[in-house]
Amino acid sequence: MPTDGPSQSTTRAGYVALVGRPNAGKSTLLNRFVGEHLSIVTSKAQTTWQRVTGIRTKGTDQLIFLDTPGLLETRDLLQHAMLGAALEALAEADVALLVVDTTKRPTQTDTDRILAAFSEIHRPLHIVLNKLDQANLSSIEAWKSWAEEGLSGQVHSVSAKTGKGVDSLLNVICEDLPEGPFLYPEDDIASDPVRFFVAEFVREAIFEQFHQEIPYAVFCQVAEFREKQDPTYIHVDIFVERKSQKRIVVGNQGSAIKKLGSAARSKIERFLGCHVYLDLWVKPLPSWRKSPDHLSRLGFRVPVEGDPHQL
């Protein structure tokens, strides 16, 4: 339920969508804004599959950041759902941030996909040229030139990884927030349930440990969470598409899943601040990425014909 927030002066609160092509650094930027590792970050592209909400209360301003899946070319129903989640967040937001990866020059595919997503957006827009710590000047200038010609928004240069330029960007975003009461308590940093983040940390560990098809064929869901015992017992189901994938995730005599459990448990304990007994179960769920029923069961909003949140 919304809170009244501070009463000493006018408050501002609003939703800020972080949108862009895959691997632009949206999740790293969200984590930098909030000051907490909420959204999973790996070296692989397309790790964000669902909207992740992070909250930053700064004086009389409250920003609710929406990290979104990348604006990608869809190949299956899961990717359609991911794209829909990004476009839905963009449509609902009070302020839009277009995050771009300046380590590579803009391509026609990049710019076409971005322009299609932002064509009907009529709200404050900030174009965030990210990864300054890694990009060369010519690539940065190419993106800046394109943004100034193709979009009507302020252009900012930042490094989400090092934090350079992020505080200045945050101050400018605050000026675009609508006046109104805080939507969440001042000390909240996220609105998603703890179970969501626990499952995401297991999935992050999978992305770090496995390669090729495995990370993209796996989804995690918390089946049981007993916090009134020490250590906290957490049962997570790891869904794969084929039995052969289950054998890889489990490994020879359970070696791979033991390594996975250790890595994921460390992430979860750091987030929860308590000892955890992590119980991982690997279950085949055939072709779950293409099944409307399976995707709905796993918490995805399945797109339907005529869905406005599709390109």
Q: How far is CA 18 from the centre of its chain?
A: 9
Tell me the pTM: 0.91
Are 149 and 200 part of one and the same domain?
no
Task: Give the mean model confidence (pLDDT) for residues 197-209.
Answer: 97
Are 253 and 119 part of one and the same domain?
no
Domain boundary among 175, 208, 239: 175
Structure tokens belonging to residue 145: 């030139």
Interval 211-222: pLDDT, tens = 989 999 999 999
Are 161 and 23 part of one and the same domain?
yes
Q: For the domain that residue 61 is a member of, what is the CATH number?
A: 3.40.50.300
Q: For the domain that residue 287 is a member of, what is the CATH number?
A: 3.30.300.20
Burial 62-98 (b: 16+ CB within 10 A, else e): bbbbbbbbbbbeeeebbbbbbbbbbbbbbeebbbbbb
Q: How many domains are contained in the chain?
A: 2
Dihedral angle, C-alpha 19, 67, 70, 269, nearest 10 °: 160
**In terms of C-beta density within 10 A (0-12 exposed, 13-18 middle, 19 or more buried), how is residue 231 classed?**
middle
DSSP state at residue 179:
B
Domain boundary among 120, 144, 175: 175
Say if residues 2 and 182 touch (Cβ distance below 8 Å).
Answer: yes
Task: Give the mean model confidence (pLDDT) for residues 197-216.
Answer: 96
Are 67 and 206 part of one and the same domain?
no
**4 in a structural domain:** no
**302 in a structural domain:** no
Containing structural domain, residue 276: 194-297
Interval 81-128: pLDDT, tens = 999 999 999 999 999 999 999 999 999 999 999 999 998 888 999 999
Domain boundary among 111, 143, 175: 175
pLDDT at residue 5 is higher than 50: no
**107 in a structural domain:** yes
Dihedral angle, C-alpha 70, 108, 123, 196, nearest 10 °: 0
Are 66 and 108 part of one and the same domain?
yes
CA distance linking residue 278 with residue 266, whole number of Å: 10
Structure tokens belonging to residue 111: 């710019």
Are 161 and 17 part of one and the same domain?
yes
Are 106 and 216 part of one and the same domain?
no
Are 141 and 24 part of one and the same domain?
yes
**67 in a structural domain:** yes
**135 in a structural domain:** yes
**Minimal CA–CA distance to 303: which of 74, 121, 93?**
74
Are 65 and 205 part of one and the same domain?
no
CA distance linking residue 66 with residue 61, whole number of Å: 16
Are 58 and 199 part of one and the same domain?
no
Distances (CA, A) of 47 to 27, 119, 205: 9, 25, 11
pLDDT for res 306:
64
CA distance linking residue 11 with residue 159, whole number of Å: 28
CA distance linking residue 56 with residue 33, whole number of Å: 7
Say if residues 21 and 108 touch (Cβ distance below 8 Å).
Answer: no
**Residue type for 164, please?**
K
Interval 141-154: pLDDT, tens = 999 999 999 898 99
Interval 56-70: pLDDT, tens = 999 999 999 999 999
